[in-house]
Amino acid sequence: MKILNILSKPGKKFVLLIDPDKYTVQGLITTIYAANEHKIAVIFIGGSLVTDQIDPTIEIIRQHTTIPIVLFPGSLMQLTNKADAILLLSLISGRNPEYLIGNHVLAAPYLKKSGIEIIPTAYILIGQGNTTSVEYISNTKPIPADKIDLVAATAIAGEMMGNKLIYLEAGSGASNPVSPELIREVKRQISIPLIVGGGIKNIEQAKQIYAAGADIMVVGNAIESNLDKLGQLIRALG
């Protein structure tokens, strides 16, 4: 089954984000066993700044699960044909041409040959008052969290441009997740699946995010520091 079909089918979904730099081999294996136990839909792999090679991490994951693996690349250095699919991210909240089209042009010949599934994704960074890794690395400004109309208009444009997913990102290590009010308005304005990630630390936040309209929730940092959080956050699915 195509990964986009998995992400698009009805029902709320939870995605585990794996940053290769943040895990030891044993820690990764333990986390994957937990992902199997909780029937995680998909694993995203990547980060704003990944210094370890992606391929060895994917190989370890493959040895311990059949959960689909999707690249969530922060740079061209994070491309590989070992994954099942890639979120081809266009950072449409910013105006840095490298993250709108420049890197995509460089990656396109490789991705075409790789044979992995390409999922065009509109990536919208939401400002929470602190500078996140993705903001610094991408050299773009996020849309302020209180500019709900502007975020919604950006999401509408992302769908009109042919993207298959809208991704609202508070950023790695964000002090707060994307607000329910913002999620609710964006969901009202689009007809494609809505992903929300960044700053999600507890079950109450997760419940609010799902209730506001997020189809897919992505969590990485909270689980890196406390694997017990995985089961707690999964319970938000009901």
The 10s digit of each residue's pLDDT in 186-202 is 999 999 999 999 999 99
Q: What is the pLDDT of residue 1?
A: 67
pLDDT one-digit tens code per residue, 6-29:
999 999 999 999 999 999 999 999
CATH number for the domain that contains residue 231: 3.20.20.390
* Tokens found for residue 63: 């040895």
pTM: 0.96
CA distance 31 to 25: 10
CA distance 145 to 151: 8
pLDDT one-digit tens code per residue, 95-111:
999 999 999 999 999 99
Q: Which domain holds residue 89?
A: 3-237
Q: What is the largest CA-CA distance in the chain?
A: 45
Domain count, the chain: 1
Contact 16, 223 (CB under 8 A): yes
